[in-house]
């Protein structure tokens, strides 16, 4: 019998710095059950895994039991697909190398794969979203940081060590802004949500013209505040998006030269800022891309709902697992 019929579901687990969200997903990409817990607050990763399983197992049982689950996919910062480990993730509570995939396999006896969150987003987009049917595309996640997942010839690119595709830490400005990774000028320091807020603070300090952003204490300005101001016609806020989109477009023009993608798919709050961000990105790509690529790469926004994307992305990884019990 076709194993999708025997095992019609996969589980997706998205591990973020604040929350861990998980759900059971069917082959059409519908989340049929989900729950979440706080990621922090457990003395060890083992106790954290116990707690996830305590919440996840009842969902599995209610939907036919472990035998109906084809696999578990986990998306996590600094997740290594080859080893199933999370390695030195700065925003997670555990230090060092954590064999998280093995912990879930031990507890639930279900094959488990793990990758970083941006790779999971790319696989989710390829399975259920804007990149369906594409063999070559680049996923860019614009959140607190900037992540990327690169698909070439229909395959996720993991590199020799499992960590390929960190375009957020390609240097966009030599000797630029200090990055959390310890280097200077990474794309992430300009084009993440926190990068946008940083740009707002810099521009407000350097300039004198009026802006509604001046009504907000500088330290608490968010990229959402900048968006709201831009929509209301605030010129400085619009300029902040132009600056951000320009740097991102320049970086994407270089990325296009690397893998000649059919599309670049943008995900995250910033990607939803519409023309304020998309127009400068498109212009900067066109102004900077090598002639042979001009006009060939589509710029798309994720088709997955924000609330579902993380679980769907992680779950999609599980469809690719070889069923160990077949
Ligand atoms: Zn960096």
pLDDT over 90 (residue 5): no
Q: For residue 169, how far is its CA from the centre of ligand 1 (angstroms)?
A: 4
Percent of the chain with pLDDT over 70: 97
pLDDT over 80 (residue 213): yes
Instruction: Kindly report the average pLDDT of the chain as a whole number.
Output: 94
pLDDT band at 45 (very low <50, low <70, confident <90, very high): very high
Q: For residue 71, how far is its CA from the centre of ligand 1 (angstroms)?
A: 33
What's residue 278's pLDDT?
A: 96
Q: For residue 143, how far is its CA from the centre of ligand 1 (angstroms)?
A: 14
DSSP secondary structure, 251-292, as one string: HHHHHHHHH--SEEEEESGGGGSTHHHHHHHHHHHHHHS-GG
What's residue 323's pLDDT?
A: 46
What's residue 91's pLDDT?
A: 83
What's residue 80's pLDDT?
A: 96
DSSP secondary structure, 155-197, as one string: EE--TTTS----GGGSBSSTT-SB-TTSSB-BTHHHHSHHHHH
Q: For residue 315, how far is its CA from the centre of ligand 1 (angstroms)?
A: 28
Q: For residue 299, how far is its CA from the centre of ligand 1 (angstroms)?
A: 24
Over residues 252-267, the mean pLDDT reads 98
Helix intervals (H) in the chain: 3-6, 45-62, 100-108, 117-128, 188-191, 193-206, 223-231, 235-259, 275-288, 306-319
Q: Residue 305, Cα to own-chain centre: how many angstroms?
A: 13
Q: For residue 221, how far is its CA from the centre of ligand 1 (angstroms)?
A: 22
Q: Cβ-count burial of 15 within 10 angstroms (0-12 exposed, 13-18 middle, 19+ buried)?
A: buried
Q: What digits encode the pLDDT tens for the residues 71-99?
A: 999 999 999 999 999 999 888 999 999 99
Q: For residue 176, how far is its CA from the centre of ligand 1 (angstroms)?
A: 11
What's residue 322's pLDDT?
A: 61
- Full-model pTM: 0.92
Q: Of how many residues is the chain composed?
A: 326
pLDDT band at 166 (very low <50, low <70, confident <90, very high): very high
pLDDT over 60 (residue 212): yes
Q: For residue 189, how far is its CA from the centre of ligand 1 (angstroms)?
A: 7
Over residues 146-159, the mean pLDDT reads 96
**pLDDT top residue among 307 and 143:** 143
96 close to 115: Cβ distance less than 8 angstroms: no
Q: For residue 188, how far is its CA from the centre of ligand 1 (angstroms)?
A: 6
Q: For residue 186, how far is its CA from the centre of ligand 1 (angstroms)?
A: 5
pLDDT band at 283 (very low <50, low <70, confident <90, very high): very high
């Amino acid at each position: 019998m076709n194993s999708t019929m025997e095992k019609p579901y996969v589980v997706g687990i998205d591990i973020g710095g604040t929350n861990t969200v998980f759900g059971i997903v069917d082959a059409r990409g519908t989340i049929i059950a989900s729950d979440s817990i706080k990621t922090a607050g457990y003395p060890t990763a083992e106790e954290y895994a116990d707690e996830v399983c305590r919440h996840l197992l009842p969902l599995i049982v209610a939907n036919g039991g472990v035998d109906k689950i084809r696999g578990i996919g986990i998306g996590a910062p600094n997740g290594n697909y080859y080893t199933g480990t999370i390695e030195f993730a700065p925003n997670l509570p555990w230090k060092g190398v954590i064999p998280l995939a093995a912990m879930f396999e031990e507890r639930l006896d279900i094959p488990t794969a793990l990758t970083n969150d941006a790779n999971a987003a790319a696989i989710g987009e390829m399975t259920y979203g804007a990149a369906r049917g594409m063999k070559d595309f680049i996923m860019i996640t614009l959140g607190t940081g900037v992540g990327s997942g690169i698909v070439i010839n229909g395959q996720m690119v993991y590199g020799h060590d499992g960590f390929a595709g960190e375009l957020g830490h390609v240097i966009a400005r030599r000797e630029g802004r200090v990055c959390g990774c310890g280097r200077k000028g990474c794309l992430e320091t300009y084009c993440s949500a926190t990068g946008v807020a940083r740009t707002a603070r810099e521009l407000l300090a350097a300039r004198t013209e009026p802006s509604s952003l001046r009504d907000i204490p500088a330290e608490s300005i968010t990229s959402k505040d900048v968006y709201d101001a831009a929509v209301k016609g605030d010129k400085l806020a619009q300029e902040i998006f132009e600056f951000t989109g320009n740097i991102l477009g320049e970086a994407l023009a270089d990325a296009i030269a690397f893998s000649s993608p059919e599309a670049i798919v943008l995900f995250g709050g910033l990607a939803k800022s519409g023309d304020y961000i998309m127009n400068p990105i498109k212009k900067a790509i066109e102004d900077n891309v090598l002639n042979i690529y001009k006009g060939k790469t589509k710029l798309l926004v994720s088709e997955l709902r924000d609330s579902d994307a993380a679980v769907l992305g992680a779950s999609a990884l599980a469809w690719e697992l070889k069923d160990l019990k077949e």
